[in-house]
Amino acid sequence: MAENLTNSKWHSFQKPLFRVIAAFVLLFVCSFSFPHAYIPDIGSYTHVFFERMVQWVGKNILHIKKPYTIELVSDSTGMYIHVMILFIVAIVAATLWGVSDKKASSNYQANYYWFVAFIRYYVAMQLLVYGWNKIFKWQFYLPEPNTLFTTLGNTPKDLLYWSTMGMSRSYSVFTGLLEVLAAMFLFFRRTQLLGAFIAAGVMVNVLMINLSFDISVKLYSSFLLFLCLLILFPDAKRIAVFFFSARPIGPHQSTVQYLLFKKRWLYRTVKTIVIAFLLFDSLAVYLSSKNFNDDKAVRPYLHGAYSVEAFVVGGDTLLPLTTDTYRWRRMFIHRQGYLITQLMNDEMKDYELEIDSLHHEFVMRDPEDSSLHVLHYINTADSVLELRGRFLDDSLSIYLKKIDLQKLPLLQNEFQWTIDK
């Protein structure tokens, strides 16, 4: 290794603050599970230990009586307790670090450089995952048929935002490109400031969306924003001069002349391999599935929305009265294995669905009471479906017609430069 890292003078409060922040960030990263295709997910191995700690603290120290989620997922009560624990542990670890440092002084400038480098690559790695998800429409997917027929007032805020984003591929691709671009800039020291600026702007927007639409990634998006601000911190004075002063901005004064390897070509080779691996890891799921636009991905058999043309109970045909809370108005088959019924009063009911194509049967499981219902289906034409069988102790015959979703106004691919008719 050929390092030229000077141990610049740090103020008395900077070293302990750095130790606490570094310990907290490393503990968070090592305890929060975020699966990747080939990169080891450390959190998947450590979460059991940390969740037991959360459970013990919640019971014996916080005395939480009501049931809560101890799993370490963003915005769970367990995760908030976990963050509190990590902060306390970080203070203890930083104190022990400081005590040992009195005997052998550490090169804090070197430690800080490597810490920021680690943060840059971690943030870039996560931005690549989120960015490609948006570009290939895996995150903000097209609304499912049942969502398209749910009234605005009955749609939860998070689903409403998700559906709105899912309707526009161009905007989804645009936001994804910003995240990928920020990630690529963060890989290099010369462009890390620009990358951190873009990433911080993206994460501020993401955090506000999560807060405003009650999307359950508030804590993790806050953590990523915090990391972006840590990357920007070394240039805080230069940034302040740029925005609030007419004085010229000097070049970034790096104490690092060159790192890692005596030979530049070896350093560049290793760095290229690392970046290529991170790119491959983030793209592997799309390469293996060959799904580069989820809007066009093949949907499951019989997926779609169906209008109920006739609803026969024990030989009696029920009229389509909006006051009827038994007759179906529409039926939807969801891509994730659900059959959803919409009653005449627009109330929705979900059933877990398995389609037995050999026996032409819908096997429906009610998630509320685990009861099973089996309906025989007859696909009499491309757009006509007939269901027969017993349902809620009644003999049913249901005649359905598939709805052409592409004719809905929301799915029209319209664009106008002018408002002229």
DSSP 328-386: EEEEEEETTTEEEEEETT--EEEEEEEEETTTTEEEEE-TTT--EEEEEEEEEETTEEE
Judgement on whether residues 78 and 140 belong to the same structural domain of the protein: yes
**How far is 96 from 192, CA to CA, in rounded Å?**
32
**How far is 178 from 47, CA to CA, in rounded Å?**
31
Residue 6 has pLDDT above 60, yes or no: no
Tokens in use for 314? Answer: 């024990």
Q: In a 3-state reduction of DSSP, which class is residue 144?
A: coil
> Is residue 60 domain-resident?
yes
Contacts of 219 (CB under 8 A, 6+ apart): 74, 75, 79, 80, 83
> Is residue 420 domain-resident?
no
- Per residue in 36-66, pLDDT tens? 999 999 999 999 999 999 999 999 999 998 9
Range of the domain at 207: 14-289
Residues 369 and 375 sit within 8 Å (Cβ to Cβ) = no
Judgement on whether residues 281 and 318 belong to the same structural domain of the protein: no
Q: In a 3-state reduction of DSSP, which class is residue 27?
A: helix
Judgement on whether residues 247 and 350 belong to the same structural domain of the protein: no
Judgement on whether residues 312 and 273 belong to the same structural domain of the protein: no
Higher-scoring residue by pLDDT: 294, 248:
294
**How far is 273 from 281, CA to CA, in rounded Å?**
12
pLDDT at 103: 54
**How far is 328 from 339, CA to CA, in rounded Å?**
12
Residue 304 has pLDDT above 60, yes or no: yes
Residue 261 has pLDDT above 70, yes or no: no
**How far is 48 from 72, CA to CA, in rounded Å?**
9
Judgement on whether residues 258 and 403 belong to the same structural domain of the protein: no
> Is residue 412 domain-resident?
no
- Work out the burial of residue 12: count CB atoms within 10 Å of its CB; fewer than 13 is exposed, 13-18 middle, 19 or more buried: exposed
Judgement on whether residues 341 and 254 belong to the same structural domain of the protein: no
Residue of 391, 388, 389, 358 whose CA lies nearest to 372: 391
pLDDT at 5: 41
> Is residue 2 domain-resident?
no
Q: Which of 289, 324, 352 delimits the end of a domain?
A: 289
> Is residue 124 domain-resident?
yes
Number of folded domains in the chain? 2
Residue 315 has pLDDT above 80, yes or no: yes
Judgement on whether residues 390 and 326 belong to the same structural domain of the protein: yes
Judgement on whether residues 156 and 41 belong to the same structural domain of the protein: yes
Lowest-pLDDT range of 2-6, 57-61, 229-233: 2-6
Judgement on whether residues 111 and 243 belong to the same structural domain of the protein: yes
Claim: this prediction has a pTM higher than 0.85: yes
Judgement on whether residues 235 and 318 belong to the same structural domain of the protein: no
Residue of 341, 371, 342, 337 whose CA lies nearest to 356: 337
Residue of 248, 255, 274, 340 whose CA lies nearest to 302: 340
Residue 252 confidence class, pLDDT cut points 50, 70, 90: low
DSSP 394: E
**How far is 404 from 399, CA to CA, in rounded Å?**
16
**How far is 338 from 355, CA to CA, in rounded Å?**
10
Higher-scoring residue by pLDDT: 341, 235:
341
Mean pLDDT value of segment 342-359: 94
Judgement on whether residues 256 and 128 belong to the same structural domain of the protein: yes
- Per residue in 78-134, pLDDT tens? 999 999 999 999 999 999 988 887 655 567 777 888 899 999 999 999 999 999 999
Q: Is beta strand 316-317 parallel, antiparallel or unpaired with respect to 304-313?
A: antiparallel
> Is residue 294 domain-resident?
no
Instruction: Give the angle 336-339-343 at the CA atoms, nearest 5°.
Output: 140
Mean pLDDT value of segment 293-314: 94
Q: Which of 235, 254, 289 delimits the end of a domain?
A: 289
pLDDT at 1: 35
DSSP 389: E
Q: What's the start-to-end Cα distance of the chain, in Å?
A: 70
Q: How crowded is the C-beta side of 191, counted as CA atoms within 13 Å?
A: 13
Judgement on whether residues 65 and 189 belong to the same structural domain of the protein: yes
CATH number for the domain spanning 377: value is 2.40.128.20
Q: Which of 289, 320, 342 delimits the end of a domain?
A: 289
> Is residue 217 domain-resident?
yes
pLDDT at 419: 82
> Is residue 345 domain-resident?
yes
Strand partners, 339: 333, 351
Residue 161 has pLDDT above 90, yes or no: yes
